[in-house]
Chain A
Amino acid sequence: MKETIESLRFRITKRFGTKTVLQDFTLEVRGTQFITFLGPSGCGKSTALNIIAGLIPATDGEVSIDGERIDHLPPEKRGFGMVFQNYALFPHMTVFSNIAFGLQLQRRPAAEIQERVRQMLDLVQLPGFEGRYPGQLSGGQQQRIAIARALVLHPRLLLLDEPLSNLDAKLRIEMRAEIKRLHTSLGLTSIYVTHDQVEALSLSDWVVVMKDGILMQAGPPQEIHDQPASVFVADFMGFRNFFPTQVVALGPDRMVEAAGNGMKIRGKTRHPLSAGASVVAAIRPDDIVIGGDAGSPNAFRGKVDIVEYLGRDDEAIVMLEVGGRLWVRTGVRVTPGENVTVVLPPDRVIFLTSEVPGETK
């Protein structure tokens, strides 16, 4: 009975007045995948989801499923399930009526409705909640019911619009695993919208990073995490240290040596570069090593400025002697005012061809 989709393809442009919210946002999804639209607020990710759902009309473009255009269909004819950030349960209906709503509209026999609602409540681990009203449930419970309400119709595509952002941190992690479990066990195709990179990385088969309505990078989570294609994506993926430099020399195995602001940095790149090109060196705080030989490559001397205690690690800001500052996350305990040597392991430094963050935000 359950339909699955072979492919979902879309190309969307959306303008509100003169403001372009989505510019030729294009993607093709094949089979049962978990796709995430990731980006800061205002990047157009929710708008894209709403256009796919049919709740907002696109200014231009098309959405097709298995080769068939669906962008002329109203939302109720698309057969997609959608889960909203604020749950959007019907407050005047019981849990049973909420979940049964779609089945009743399909005029299913009462016995079948009873059975499917019961199965769904078991699936989201809230058996026996039929008679409650949404107002009597916690946020996490409401979101489970909202997911059950969408899934009971066996949608061919499940759309989730920041479903966890109203939950507290602990519940968010639990519900994240729950969503992953449901997606995998039901063999769904899901599109998930979030601004949380951890959610995106942990849930997805395919991450789409967006900025100002433009697709910045799309790929498997490992690739997005390890090989960001631009400063924007790198910044979003937890790279916090950026140094504008110029390429000095190119070595084998995509090695690059670059210099700028009195620093000489070695690292890797996935871009084709030529000597003299302006590049940005980037490294994550937790890839930086404190201590080591001051004479080795990528070693710099500096003074610890601020230390934040984070439990197992400390996060420190180190003011470099050559100028500039470095965010470092380390298990080595340091104290403010302490002189340290920091090493940027060359295989952890990546070179990007783009502007420095701050200008991009």
Chain B
Amino acid sequence: MRRGKTGEPSELDLMAIACLLPSLLYVFVLFVYPFLYGIYLSLRPLKVDGFSLANYIAFFTDQYQYKTVGITFRLAVPNTIVVVAFSLLFAYNMRRGIWLERTITTILVLPISLGVILLSQGILGFYGGKGWFNQMLLGLGILEEPLVLTHNFTGVMLSLFMQQFPFCFLMLLGYISGIDPSIENSARTLGAGPWTVFRRVMLPLIAPGLAIAFALVFVMSFATFPSAILLGQPTGATRTIAIAAYAQAFEMFDLSYASAIAVIMGLFQLAGLLVIILLRKHMVTAATMGVGKR
């Protein structure tokens, strides 16, 4: 960056602005414009001239459509809680390094590199009616009937967990192992056992990272689409709001209605984030988090 004579950044740093330009352009072209255009489109229904809320009214008066919101929440909320809870459990216990850490981390992270389709295919093969998992349990005499784990709610949950756990785990591991170990050591020497250290010292320090993890996993789960189609019942039990939007756009060719559904989906995601932020504020009241001089 170009700097003024005093070494301070000059007020109008053209170079910096020029450097920012490509990313600003990128954000505008690929996010801001389509987003605004989507909102515009959603307010111009096919069958009505001019601006109208007809699409939104149609969505919330049609049970087939509005029940997708409930279905999506029922998938996203438990999945988010399970993913973050497992990630926290693993990351917290691995914060000071463990035996074979690299190998274990690699195995945990592997699903990220595979992509959703391959992962779903794997789940279908392994957990399906004729898959190894059921065959093994049947063979061992533990089951008499195969468990139905795919093409239903459970299948989607499994797939979402496998996609999001590695990502969430890595994020929390980075966050937790970044906390100065002497903070926890000092709590120990002051008489706190492992559980008290976690509850009174570490959890409040992890809380900001935990909130971010909750937010990201929730948003990703809420927008689930391929998993809901490949491993669920896309016309029934797992017809998520993303599927509803897709159907309007590419089966009914009503891009305006589809845009309205997408906007509704975005608003619900926003509401979810708001709840997480409020919970986080409620959890930790101190404003001076982690600014100790080190």
| A interface residues with partner B (beta carbon < 8 Å) | 50, 53-55, 74-76, 78, 80-82, 84-94, 101-102, 105-106, 133-136, 138-139, 142, 146, 149-150, 153, 159
Contacts and interface: CB of A to CB of B under 8 A. Distances in A.
A135 B292 CA distance: 4
B293 A91 contact: no
B189 A81 contact: yes
Contact of A93 (B180, B188, B286, B294): B286
7 contacts: A53-B189, A76-B189, A76-B190, A76-B193, A88-B180, A92-B205, A136-B288
Contacts of A159: 189
Contacts of A75: 185, 188-189
Contacts of A146: 186
A133 B182 contact: no
Contacts of A55: 185, 188-189
B284 interface: yes
Contact of B288 (A54, A87, A101, A135): A135
A88 B183 contact: yes
A93 B288 CA distance: 9
Contacts of A74: 188, 193
Nearest to B196: A105
Contact of B188 (A76, A85, A89, A91): A76
Contact of A153 (B185, B191, B200, B293): B191
Contacts of A102: 190-191
Nearest to A76: B191
Nearest to A56: B185
A82 B293 CA distance: 19
B292 A89 contact: yes
B292 A91 contact: yes
A86 B180 contact: yes
Given A74-B193, A105-B191, A88 B204 contact: no
A153 B192 CA distance: 13
Given A92-B204, A133-B286, A136-B288, A86 B188 contact: no
B212 interface: no
Given A88-B183, A93-B286, 6 more contacts: A50-B185, A76-B190, A82-B189, A88-B180, A101-B190, A139-B293
Given A88-B180, A92-B204, A105-B192, A133 B288 contact: yes
